[in-house]
Amino acid sequence: MSVGTNIQTINLNNIQPKMQTNFRSQSSPVKDYPPDTVEINGKKKTGMSNGAKVGIGLGILGAAALAIGLIAKGRGSQAKEVVKHIDFKEAKTFEEAKKYAKDKLGVIYYDVNDLEMANFINEWLTTIHNKCKSIDKTSYPKIIANMKEKQITAPFCMTSSAKYNKNIEGHILGVNMSTFNNFDKFIEEAIGTGSVISKNKNGKYIIIDDAYKTDFITNVIERVNNYSNNLSLKNKLKLMSDMKSIQDGKMVNGKWKEKPISIYQTLNHELGHLRHQYLAKDYELMKKADEFILQGKPVSDITKEFLNTPTIQETAGKVSVYAQESPLEFVAETFADLIEGKILPDDVMALYKKYNGPMV
């Protein structure tokens, strides 16, 4: 489970993490901020194509367990409030963005003195507020804080119901500004070489498998070859999300077809985790197998059934490869798709209901 982002090498046949940094979100297992990062070694898993490998890092395994149960005391007890439409307008100064966040969304910024990032997060939360009437402010991150790179190797991370500076408690959305300030380094680490992508004699990435020479992937690789730290924040996030959409795609008529996702998918995924905690009494029993092992506990029967039942794995795979990791990741990935207005197959929605997936 996760909110944040880890760079790993993606094998379109076997998912095999290269390093513990990813495009998916991470979540902290500790009560006081900031958390330490716990690395989890990835396991090989049947993936998307026959023997193909592409080096696009998207973080299939989260680096730490979500803070389970810390907000369970609020499950089902939050008061419903009348949701009023908010008109979003990009702030021209950071102070203006901070005031908007506090007054309209109940969000406080600490140590993130960046106007682009504040506008991006404010726009995301405003969209959620206006679009999802069933989601109230108790599910929003209350604190937006800068995470040091040495503490966590992800662009974003989420900690549920933790304390910041021991005086304010609430969900914390961590932003690793060093990721975006050193984007060239981030992208270089995210791209590897294999039987799909390689480097030519000029050091440029090229596609060497015809099945992956689509207009979309060609455009992504061209942008990777020409990335710059001068890109706007949204263009950096767009490149990240497009790389992830390649990883979450599938083979159609002999060509790799990406799964379109928005630049808000990672944050929507994590919001799904937070909402799921309120609804599922057996939430703690739906984690990934690696997380049970990390905690020295036996893997739950719910997760065993999920991983070992072919029909369940097939259904989860219709959402994404990452959705096959555990019931929690399946729910969060499905929630993110629903937030984006995607119509999902009946078997996906039935499985979502089985695990008490939150309504959108």
Mention every residue, 6+ apart, whose C-beta is less than 8 A from residue 234: 116, 120, 263
The overall pTM is greater than 0.85: no
Question: What pLDDT does residue 55 have?
Answer: 44
| pLDDT for 326 | 97
pLDDT value for 120: 96
Each as own residue / partner, the long-range contacts of residues 77-81 (CB below 8 Å, 24 or more positions apart, any chain) are 78/136, 78/138, 78/278, 80/136, 81/136, 81/137
- Residues of the chain short of pLDDT 70, as ranges, are 1-83, 148-154, 162-163, 165-166
Give per-residue pLDDT as tens, 134-161.
777 777 888 898 886 554 456 888 777 7
DSSP three-state, residue 161:
strand
Contacts of 198 (CB under 8 A, 6+ apart): 205, 206, 208
**What type of residue is 286?**
M
Contact 157, 37 (CB under 8 A): no
- pLDDT at residue 182 in the model: 84
DSSP code for 54: B
pLDDT of residue 221: 94
Task: Give the pair of three-digit tokens for residue 295.
Answer: 């905690």
Distant-in-sequence contacts of 281-287, Cβ < 8 A, 24+ apart: 281/75, 283/68, 283/69, 283/72, 283/328, 284/68, 284/69, 286/326, 286/327, 286/328, 286/331, 286/355, 287/1, 287/65, 287/66, 287/68, 287/326, 287/328
pLDDT of residue 317: 93
Give residue 332's identity as a one-letter amino acid code: A
Measure the CA–CA gap between 300 and 41, rounded to whole angstroms: 19
pLDDT tens, residue by residue, 95-132: 999 999 999 999 998 888 999 999 999 999 999 998 88
Distance CA 199, CA 82 (A): 55
Tokens representing 228?
């710059």
Tokens representing 275? 């909402």
Q: How many residues does the chain have?
A: 360
